[in-house]
């Protein structure tokens, strides 16, 4: 009977198919997807720390999104989970729940610092622990105080009072099995902040952060810099500064993930993992010295702004910088062809090519989005007359008008 022959034949074919197509998948499946939770601090009715031209909640979201984009673009086997992707209020407890519900392997909470002294600046990364100094405790108290914005915080946080020093005693007796991994990662982040992004190093610190305490995985809380220091705020509020800080966190994560995979005996299958280049260091901007050297009060920058206002140099113009080269480029070449109002300026031995010339920031940002696939690293710059000025300064000039 033909049936007798057909059935085993079907199985044979199936077996062959599974061998050919499923076996490579089966090998990869042993490698669990790594879940990275990106927590942009604050949001919605909670602006976080507020500076002269920006709010903590916007900076943290921009940096978190950029870290996520880099990971998604360059790494395999990593799932990104955001605690928020828009300007919404998320309670602290819920942020930790999002991490736990998604079985997070790493939790990164991104924040911006503020201090009474305008002179304070620099980046620091926290892991959970008992604060050894009052300064560290103050940072944790400020970040935890968002709990008070919730109606039912006393029940939800089981009597934890973010403003009472006594509440923090719990962190002294806490065992954190994730501490070693958290500290390694925090150290990688600080190394990147200092080495690649040229930020002032305030080190790896410990304090009692509720959100770290509740997430059941290695976790760090990054304080990108001080919004209360005007020069640092200009950096953190700029697309270039945000990009650099995101790249720094991304590179630290690539390193952490590499050693994590090695420890678990995973083969290096992440061929796609690459180190992204710093398209153009932010320090190339004219105010570079302000960011790399100790800052006093930020008055210098302000006086520059007012001089420009008085000089009546006209309106700032926004352009999109798409590429830079030591040689003049052929504007008819395939990668530059057909671009609207293509232009270049010279700076630091480079011909820097730009697209667009807009007085409206939204317009130039639209051009940036339109060209995102073609020029993923393009970024917005601003000119006042012939002089290149920081974008935040240009925005401020418009706002003040």
Task: Kindly tell me which of 143 and 232 has the beta carbon lying closer to Zn ion.
Answer: 143
Residue 195, both tokens: 């080495």
For 89, phi then psi, to 5°, come to -85, 125
Minimal distance in Å, beta carbon 41 to Zn ion? 4
- What whole-number distance in Å separates Cα of residue 106 and Cα of residue 250? 13
- What whole-number distance in Å separates Cα of residue 258 and Cα of residue 170? 33
What's the residue count for the chain? 401
CA distances from 168 to 73, 75, 128, 180, 212 (A): 40, 38, 11, 21, 13
Size of the site for Zn ion (CB under 5 A): 4
Site string (10-49) toward Zn ion, x via CB under 5 A: -------------------------------x------x-
Site string (128-147) toward Zn ion, x via CB under 5 A: ---------------x----
Minimal distance in Å, beta carbon 142 to Zn ion? 7
Minimal distance in Å, beta carbon 90 to Zn ion? 12
For 154, phi then psi, to 5°, come to -65, -40
CA distances from 310 to 305, 307, 313, 314 (A): 9, 5, 8, 10
- List Cβ neighbours of 77 (8 Å cut-off, separation of 6 or more): 31, 33, 34, 269, 270
**Looking at beta carbons, which residue is closest to Zn ion?**
111
Task: Kindly tell me which of 78 and 99 has the beta carbon lying closer to Zn ion.
Answer: 99
Task: Kindly tell me which of 143 and 270 has the beta carbon lying closer to Zn ion.
Answer: 143
Minimal distance in Å, beta carbon 343 to Zn ion? 40
Closest to 210 (Cα-Cα) out of 170, 249, 179: 170
Residue 46, both tokens: 């909670």
For 345, phi then psi, to 5°, come to -135, 160
Minimal distance in Å, beta carbon 149 to Zn ion? 12
Task: Kindly tell me which of 209 and 375 has the beta carbon lying closer to Zn ion.
Answer: 209
Element (H, E) at 322: strand 316-325
Minimal distance in Å, beta carbon 48 to Zn ion? 4
- List Cβ neighbours of 69 (8 Å cut-off, separation of 6 or more): 246
Tally of CA atoms within 13 A in the half-sphere of 193 that contains its CB: 23
91 touches Zn ion (CB under 5 A): no
Minimal distance in Å, beta carbon 44 to Zn ion? 13
Closest to 395 (Cα-Cα) out of 287, 238, 232: 238
Site string (100-129) toward Zn ion, x via CB under 5 A: -----------x------------------
Minimal distance in Å, beta carbon 113 to Zn ion? 8
**Residue numbers 47-66 binding Zn ion by CB under 5 A:** 48
What would you report as the CA-atom Rg of the chain, rounded to the nearest whole angstrom? 25
Minimal distance in Å, beta carbon 39 to Zn ion? 10
Determine contact, residues 382/317, Cβ cutoff 8 Å: yes
Task: Kindly tell me which of 82 and 318 has the beta carbon lying closer to Zn ion.
Answer: 82
Minimal distance in Å, beta carbon 170 to Zn ion? 21
Task: Kindly tell me which of 60 and 182 has the beta carbon lying closer to Zn ion.
Answer: 60
CB atoms within 10 A of CB 208: 26
CA distances from 66 to 51, 198, 322 (A): 21, 18, 18
Give the residues lining the site for Zn ion (CB under 5 A).
41, 48, 111, 143
């Amino acid at each position: 009977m033909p049936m007798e022959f057909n059935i085993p034949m079907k199985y044979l074919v199936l077996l062959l198919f599974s061998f050919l197509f499923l076996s490579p998948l089966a090998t990869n499946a042993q490698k669990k997807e790594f879940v990275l939770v990106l927590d942009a601090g604050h949001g919605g009715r909670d602006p976080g720390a507020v500076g002269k031209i920006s709010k903590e909640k916007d900076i943290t979201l921009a940096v978190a999104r950029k870290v996520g984009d880099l990971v998604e673009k360059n790494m395999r086997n990593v799932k990104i989970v955001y605690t928020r992707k828009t300007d919404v209020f998320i309670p602290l407890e819920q942020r930790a729940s999002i991490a736990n519900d998604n079985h997070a392997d790493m939790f990164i909470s991104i924040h911006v610092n503020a201090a009474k002294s305008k002179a304070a600046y620099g980046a620091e990364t926290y892991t959970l622990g008992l604060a050894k100094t009052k300064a560290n405790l103050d940072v944790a108290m400020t970040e935890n105080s968002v709990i008070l914005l919730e109606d039912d915080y006393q029940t939800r946080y089981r009597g934890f009072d973010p403003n009472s020093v006594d509440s923090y005693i719990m962190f002294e007796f806490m065992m954190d099995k994730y501490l070693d991994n958290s500290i390694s990662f925090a150290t990688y982040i600080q190394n990147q902040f200092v080495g690649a992004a040229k930020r002032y190093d305030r080190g790896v610190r410990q304090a009692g952060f509720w959100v770290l305490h509740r997430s059941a995985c290695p976790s760090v809380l990054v304080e990108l810099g001080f919004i209360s220091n005007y020069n640092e705020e200009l950096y953190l509020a700029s697309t270039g500064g945000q990009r650099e800080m995101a790249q720094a966190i991304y590179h630290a994560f690539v390193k952490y993930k590499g050693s994590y995979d090695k420890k678990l005996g995973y083969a290096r299958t992440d061929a796609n993992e690459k180190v992204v280049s710093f398209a153009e260091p932010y320090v190339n901007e004219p105010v570079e010295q302000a960011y790399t050297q100790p800052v006093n009060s930020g008055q210098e920058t302000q006086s520059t702004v007012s001089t420009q206002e008085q000089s009546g140099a006209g309106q700032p113009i926004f352009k999109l910088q798409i590429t830079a080269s030591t040689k003049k480029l052929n504007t008819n070449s395939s990668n530059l062809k057909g671009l609207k109002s293509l232009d270049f300026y010279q700076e630091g031995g480079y011909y820097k090519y730009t697209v667009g010339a807009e007085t409206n920031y939204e317009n130039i940002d639209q051009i940036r989005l339109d060209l995102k696939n073609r020029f993923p690293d393009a970024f917005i710059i601003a000119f006042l007359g012939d002089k290149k000025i920081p974008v935040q300064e240009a925005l401020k000039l418009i706002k003040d008008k």
